[in-house]
Structure 1
């Protein structure tokens, strides 16, 4: 399965420029402290020590900076989910671990980095490219597990693969999407085991 991390963002200037990384790092700390919605590019410029015009050489807008930060957060979640999946040998256990890791990583973003969660919520609301790319990559990881399960004989093969993938993804979505996650807190303790168990029974050959 592919492990490349490609999250499209709207940035200007050389992609490897150290200044961009410096802006993103400083903006991450600023957003973490004061929140995304309440911060302006002028606030960031003042905090970082750059002029507003200089920041605009690298990012077209505050959203572009937020999108880079969002992409970084989503990379971390994806890496955690993939690591959990890679620890399992058989597809059924990979699916269980995928459910569990997604819930745990999403909750940690919500509770430990509440102001960064604000950026993730904005990304989900406005369908930023980084958020769409994350959803697509999680769907691809899920499809890879299902395909492997069909090859090993663990999962049924009659239902079209794309249909099964999307159906299971929709079951996972309340714990992937930050806007839906806030309405699912009462179920997070039991949801990974119960939902993955239900899904695995439906996949039995």
Structure 2
């Protein structure tokens, strides 16, 4: 996971990004070593060399720090997908790449470090704000690609756009959500191609 903070996660206190970055970087390392659930803010304070009160000037809780780490992880996945989508002008191919790259990037980032997976699992279980915002952006991306496909004549236009985007999102969700993805890992080699082909057939005008 990258350690560059963003404004999408809850933060507080002075606008000292270097200190926030330092806390997030140390927390990422600490969670990776000891696990999210077992780590307290006091543990982080000792590891960083700050007082617990000082950390609370920047983050209101351990979850707020976890959300910042989660945001960074999700932004990394999203960036990979958008880069892949931007490399083609064909809406059907864009949709195929959405399925393929979301699955590949989610697998790599959610499961390359089992202890950091705990953060992603907590975020999904408790429906953190970072997760809600991520899901909304995924659906917006789907709507953008669908709109392009309708304008190019590749996709049907009768079904309401938001309804179509939501349906596709629900097909994709088992490969986005870490809690669901852990039960679908044995299908990730074939599922993106098969599911995107099925969705594309349903979108034919």
State the TM-score, normalizing by the size of structure 1: 0.94
Give, in whole Å, the separation in 1 of the partners of 2:151 and 2:6.
28
Runs of 4+ with >4 A deviation: none
Q: Distance in 2 between matches of 1:151 and 1:137?
A: 21
- Equivalent residues in 2 for 1:41-56, closer than 5 Å: 41-56=41-56
Question: Does the Cα contact within 8 Å between 2:6 and 2:72 map onto a contact in 1?
Answer: no
In the alignment, which residue of structure 2 is the partner of 1:122?
A: 122
Structure 1 residues 157-185: Cα deviation after superposition (integer angstroms, max 9, x where no partner)? 01111110000000000011111111111
* Number of aligned residue pairs: 201
Aligned ranges for residues 1-205 of structure 1 at < 5 Å? 8-205=8-205
Helix, strand or coil for the counterpart of 2:174? helix
* Residue 17 of structure 1, CA deviation: 2.9
Distance 2:96 2:6 in 1: 25
CA spacing shift, 1:137–1:80, aligned 2, 3 Å: same
- In 2, Cα distance between equivalents of 1:69 and 1:15: 18
Give secondary structure in 2 for the equivalent of 1:169.
helix
Gaps of 5+ in 2: none
Q: Distance in 2 between matches of 1:201 and 1:182?
A: 28
Contact 1:45–1:52 (CA<8 Å) still a contact in 2?
A: yes
Q: Is the 8 A contact 2:14 2:57 kept in 1?
A: no
Structure 1 stretches of 5 or more lacking a match? none
- TM-score, L = length of structure 2: 0.94
